[in-house]
């Protein structure tokens, strides 16, 4: 039964990642991968929030399933490499340092917010 919760969450998270990335890219004409940045930071915040308030089943559905499919380390890595190889070394460095820092900050804020609930 646990695998079904993860699969259901992932079935929502993956399309949500795609749609969010498209929406962000449509609003920002930049070489920087803002869509991936946004989904990773939002997913980190949600995961931090869930860890303090969600049941084990909700953590499987929303944490492992939804957040796992919403966020993407592989795309972050690929886009950082693509920026570097394309000559946007400053953006590559910003992405390589800024995305993990923002994600860590967001998960911490989520966990702190959960503590207030």
pLDDT average, residue stretch 65-85:
97
**pLDDT at position 29 over 90:** no
Q: Other C-beta atoms within 10 Å of 14: how many?
A: 16
**pLDDT at position 52 over 90:** no
Identify the pLDDT of residue 51.
Answer: 87
CB 9 within 8 A of CB 47: no
pLDDT average, residue stretch 100-112:
97
Buried b (16+ CB within 10 A) or exposed e, 72-81: beebbeebbe
CB 48 within 8 A of CB 105: no
Q: Which of 103, 108, 116, 115 is nearest to 76 (CA)?
A: 103
pLDDT band, very low/low/confident/very high, at 11 (cuts 50, 70, 90): very high
């Amino acid at each position: 039964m646990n695998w079904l919760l993860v699969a259901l969450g992932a079935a929502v998270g993956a399309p949500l990642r795609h749609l969010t990335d498209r929406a962000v890219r449509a609003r920002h004409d930049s070489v920087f991968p803002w869509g991936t940045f946004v989904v990773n930071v939002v997913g980190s915040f949600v995961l931090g929030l869930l860890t303090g308030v969600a049941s084990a089943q909700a953590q499987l559905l929303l944490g492992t399933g939804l957040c796992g499919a919403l966020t993407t380390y592989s795309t972050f890595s690929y886009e950082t490499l693509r920026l570097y190889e394309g000559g946007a070394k400053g953006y590559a460095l910003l992405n390589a340092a800024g995305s993990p820092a923002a994600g860590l900050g967001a998960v911490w804020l989520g966990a702190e917010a959960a503590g207030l609930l």
